Structure 1
């Protein structure tokens, strides 16, 4: 029976490997016109009308389009200067930019770091957040306030730990203007330092490539097919306003996903793009931050459904942990057939992760972490479920979210 189980698992893992390779090939690349890539969204007449309106409105009488880069910042003294400098160093031959930063009640030197950059470049403007209203999430409220000051034809929200490459802004605008309106997002190339960062941070990209048909993010208007990140999220002002913006999702912890779903509900396109060549980020600095960061998102991202949380945990345990247990057992019993199938299952899982890691700019050898990564992901899922179920909530940057 155990041999049959391993044979079935191995076949399924091989199918998932083939799906992953195909799935990654369907991801649009930032910096290219979406009309020239393998995408399926066709702009509607409304999209064309909006594009015409953009060029004839009073706001668009300039020779170059304006891109508003908006950065919510809370206790980001380590990151904010490098973030701003990377934005300001971007080539802007074909666009104008404005950089808006919201100080979200920082308790460190964040403001001082921003002000030093402002002395060198007047394209940066600093705002200070009002007190957080009841029911609002901190980041959503910071972004909501930022858009009140934005003048751009397109808006780009980035986190303070993001770094842009020199071509990053112009590449973003090329893709955005070809789409016309809606939302575009992509996962930055993730930099990792500590051991838990290396084990867990790449799993964000793994889960998407392994399960979500990427072309359906653009092809389908269903809010079910969505994958975005607030670390790098670009949106047209008209789409933002009609979808309700951050005000419409003020209570949501995973605000980026909910904003994308809201954009889809109004019929505007949402695109998950490969932005690896133009942006990078180091989201966490130690194991504690990694655990807490994933903990606040993972159960909420599963719709706060205990059934789904259990299902995901069992699925990953079967695919990536059971083969390791079976290998140990078969080595003890000298069952050569079982040893072979167990090793093959483990190898396919590692190869799949390596392919996804390399695609997202990580070393190929990090695929060997797959069983440990799966075990840690299950552990965080259970911890996140516990925190949500018992009412303790999730702590992040000095705030508690239920």
Structure 2
């Protein structure tokens, strides 16, 4: 089953998405997500100039071989651009294989390990009253887990707090906007927020919080310890993960569970964190970690060390990636949670899909392959618009992790 064509489709139905469509001589095609938020066109160039020419004529059924060919054959391994491009190819090939077999992809991964995929939503607001309203809205929809982000008194903007409650998109301008950050204000404020939320909603609702790489290990340890009374499901990305030994210091001081990995690209990025049990949830995702093939390797390693999955699922992952994630989620033994930020109606129109939400769970659907497609005519109505993620500075002007 030879590949006869592969095309990169760029569209912006509310935000930018990059999609790879691979066609075979039998007429079966597959789609893969290649979106790298704020750096979309770098992946477009990598795919168009380097990957697509190498795909034509190859056997679409040899997924593992093509993965190794694109990874090892480039010599310059790893990195977000390379691994996002490989992920797009890998995901599209799994889509093709499922369609040829007449089975949803999760069946090819071993079948169901659970009925549905537990997801969490994003409750955010500048102030506490608005936050309570947002949490209540998610609870009314049946969500069992909610991520909590709130404005910090004295700061004009804060990561995770959006003007549009429904569709949060941080890439908000063609050139990066700049935010101002104060660790001291943050550390003093956040424990009071969770104290009030837990008092309002009781012990059963799972609560999560994203630090977004902004603390040092000892600052993260302080935060984790201060949040222990409120029983968080996880504290996400407490420190930048380049220094993985830093997580050991956090572990020494707090029992608050730690999640990390949305910016990881390979199993080697998280090997130490997993094998030394320095984290509880690994948040690597299909589109940024080399596709379904490589993500399964990460989750299989994690399962040996009591680490569960918690894959990234923000709106910069297209419905193609969300569908792929759900097929993995429903099939692995060590699933934890799946992030789920709803897409705009325009996005759902461009990417018709079989997965659906019900009573706090997502279900991948039973259509052969991934159960998602791209309507190219509708995609063409939404041309690419440059959009960058913000840059963060301390109050004295120092550039800080965003």
When normalised by structure 2's length, the TM-score is: 0.29
Higher relative contact order (CA 8 A, sep 6+): 2
Higher helix proportion: 1
**Larger-gyration structure (1/2):** 1
Higher strand proportion: 2
When normalised by structure 1's length, the TM-score is: 0.29
